[in-house]
Structure 1
Amino acid sequence: MNTLPADDDSAQRPGYRRSTGSPRGEARRRELLDRVADDLAANGLPDFSLRRAARAAGTTHKVLLYHFDGADDLLRHAVLRLRERRVSGALAAAAEDAAGRTLADRVRAVWLVLAGEESGLRVLDQAIGLAMYDPRRHAELARTASRQYLPALLSFCPAGWSDQRKAEVAELVLATLRGLLVELVTSGDAGGVAAGFEALARALEREEAAEE
């Protein structure tokens, strides 16, 4: 995978006056970010730049520099926004008829949402690739996924479990789902990925049944 360009006007250079703190500025920043996130979902990460983002947002790269600290900062926030959308959809699915649902049931509901979004899967794969290719610049693209998903996975665990056990199981689920999603994108082996998920679901059922 090609790494992203340093930026049209230097990714590391501080931008203009920050818009944070102003309700109007924050609203405008969010509007621009949503448009850039839509472009990422449609076209992926390769060739991302401030000028491409500006075209997608219907503005200029100088306006983006008013709201963000360069291309890397904008990219980080846009990927974060895409994951927020995915997390919200997954949690909504897991919350449906939550009463009586097992841990495996809830993880399955999340999986069906995550595996069913092709554009989101492509961006996930590309973000992880960038983080591995250039960790100095892009490691945060991978780290944010853990911070976004782990709280939800911890909440799926039975209330009676110790904090350590919840953390261990949540980390296992996160790592496995991430690996299965990357495999789905890179190999296209939907049957093999489905079999891998079923093995995870059985392991979760056994883990939960151990307390009964």
Structure 2
Amino acid sequence: MSRREELLDQVTDYVLEHGLIGLTLRPVAAAIGTSDRMLLYHFESRDDLVTAVVTRSNDRAVASIRALEPADGVRAGVNELWRRYQIEPLHSCLDVYVQAAATRLIGVEPYLSAVRAANERWYAGLCDYFVACGAPHGAVRRVVTLVDSSLFGFHLDLATDRPEELAQGVDDLAAAAEALAGA
């Protein structure tokens, strides 16, 4: 593994633990045992580093989705995915994405292109998961669009609502996704 990749993994671990908002080079460099100049040597700019961290975090989330065992049906798949959203590594990876969106990073370059590519990998991982759970190829894109957007909303609600209170809404979503898959 190259030194850049090692640093990227360390910074990503730091961001997953401490968050993306307010990230500055000196404190993160000190926390991982390097200098801000070394980070700039390997990443050119803070924007380049943040883009790489958001991408690496997304890649970890996709790997987590790809490692899921298929559930017995689309409804069970949605409920299992929601359960995974609430635990590591998905919980922190999704938080990084939300923080990037909240700070308006992902809608402009240099972030936009990297995030679009990362989103395509995320979407493909979800499509593969739901096909494995029984969604037909012809309906899986509609199922994933519904589920992905909705679960992100539920994920945001975790900050103020109790997971057990959200579970019924998620199961209602799961029933709708199952019906859509069968349509």
TM-score, normalized by length of structure 2? 0.80
Runs of 4 or more consecutive aligned structure 1 residues displaced over 6 Å after TM superposition: none
| Structure 2: distance between partners of 1:177 and 1:145 | 18
TM-score, normalized by length of structure 1? 0.71
Asked if 1 retains the 8 angstrom alpha-carbon contact of 2:26 and 2:36, the reply is yes
Percent of paired sites with the same residue? 31
Give matches, 1:122-161, under 5 Å: 122-131=95-104, 135-136=107-108, 139=112, 143=116, 146-155=119-128, 156-157=130-131, 158=134, 160-161=136-137
Q: Which of 115, 125, 133 is matched with 2:86 structurally?
A: 115
Cα distance change on mapping 1:151 and 1:124 into 2, 3 Å:
same
The corresponding residue for 2:152 is 178
Cα distance change on mapping 1:144 and 1:56 into 2, 3 Å:
farther
Q: Relative contact order (alpha carbons < 8 A, sep ≥ 6): 1 or 2 greater?
A: 2
Encode CA deviations 1:147-184: one digit per residue, 9 max, x unaligned.
Answer: 2321022222357432xx33222211111111111121
Gaps of 5+ in 2: none
Structure 1 residue 169 corresponds to structure 2 residue 149: no
Aligned-residue offset at 1:65: 1.6
Letter of the 2:122 counterpart: Y
| Structure 1: distance between partners of 2:21 and 2:114 | 14
Letter of the 2:59 counterpart: E
- From the CA coordinates, give the structure whose radius of gyration is larger: 1
**RMSD across aligned positions (CA):** 2.6
The corresponding residue for 1:36 is 11
Gaps of 5+ in 1: 1-25
Letter of the 1:202 counterpart: A
Structure 1 residue 59 corresponds to structure 2 residue 52: no
| Structure 2: distance between partners of 1:145 and 1:124 | 10
Asked if 2 retains the 8 angstrom alpha-carbon contact of 1:40 and 1:123, the reply is yes
The corresponding residue for 1:8 is none
Letter of the 1:29 counterpart: R
Cα distance change on mapping 1:208 and 1:121 into 2, 3 Å:
closer
Count residues with an aligned counterpart: 177
Q: Secondary structure at the match of 2:67?
A: helix
Asked if 2 retains the 8 angstrom alpha-carbon contact of 1:154 and 1:167, the reply is yes
Aligned-residue offset at 1:198: 0.7
